[in-house]
Amino acid sequence: MNPRRWAFPAALAVAVIGALGVVVALLAAQVGYAGLLAPVRALADPGIRHAVGLSLGTATAAAGLAVAVAVPAAYALARHRFPGAAVVDTLLDLPVVLSPVAVGVALLLVLRSAPGRWVEDHLVRFVFEVPGIVLAQFTVATALAIRVLKAVFQGVDVRYEQVARFLGCTPWGAFRRVTLPLARRGIAAAFILAWARSVGEFGATVTLAGAVLGKTETIPVAIYLRLAGVDVTGAVALMLLLSALSLVVLAGVRFLGGGAR
């Protein structure tokens, strides 16, 4: 038996097992500390129920807004070449690579400017308020949604749109009747990923909306507050709940992706 034949597959197996081992160890440590029923027991706490409900509500709103903006933006980047397109594409990725805390500080500076103060005084208040959570989540989720949807629209054969145009459709009609139906699974996956990113958002949220107990307390903020209050069991229970939500989301994205192939 030639050992070289098995060297590469063995190296691959070691890499996969090593990476998987880290994730399994993280989950096992949480379950071992608090137990599998910890998230269920945690939901008996009204404060935790409020944090969960607030996270789900704001994440849904932020993801919906993110996809509404990302669909036309990603389509424009995928289908059209215009001056400065590369610069625009790069700038739209900035919230992905920036520290979430930096994003939160930047949003705070925008809202402390003269136009931002006018918006806060006459339209809606964001700083240390629930709309600030949605704004922070929307900012970080939109960049992710655009990146996902750009790849989705690039995967839709442009010839379908050309045939629709040839048959008399306007550009909007071809987009609505042909492109959107073909991209529906990708759009759903983008929404789910944006929602998951919003649920787990902490840095930008806590910087802009604060960590006001019972008011702007999302699940990540609740974890932080419980750790700060030395309630490790409560924090781990919330971590398990967040992990369970994340696993469900990942399973949903994989199901949609598998159905698209």
How far apart, in whole angstroms, are the C-alpha atoms of residue 259 and residue 261? Answer: 6
**pTM of this prediction?**
0.84
Distance between alpha carbon 53 and the CA centroid of its chain, in Å? 17
What is the C-alpha separation between 63 and 159, in angstroms, rounded?
30
d(Cα 132, Cα 119) in Å, to the nearest integer?
Answer: 12
**How many residues are present in the chain?**
261
Residue 110 one-letter amino acid = V
**pLDDT by 10s per residue, the chain, length 261:** 566 677 778 888 899 999 999 989 988 888 887 777 777 777 778 888 888 899 989 999 999 999 999 999 999 999 888 888 889 888 988 888 888 899 999 999 999 989 989 999 889 999 889 999 999 999 999 999 999 999 999 988 888 888 888 888 888 888 988 899 999 989 998 998 899 889 989 889 999 988 888 888 898 998 888 888 878 888 888 888 888 888 887 787 777 766 444
Burial class (CB in 10 A: 0-12, 13-18, 19+), 15: exposed
Alpha helix segments (H runs only) across 80-209 = 85-92, 94-97, 100-112, 114-122, 130-154, 158-166, 171-174, 180-182, 184-199, 203-209
Question: Burial, 234: exposed, middle or buried (Cβ in 10 Å; 0-12, 13-18, 19+)?
Answer: buried
Burial class (CB in 10 A: 0-12, 13-18, 19+), 21: exposed
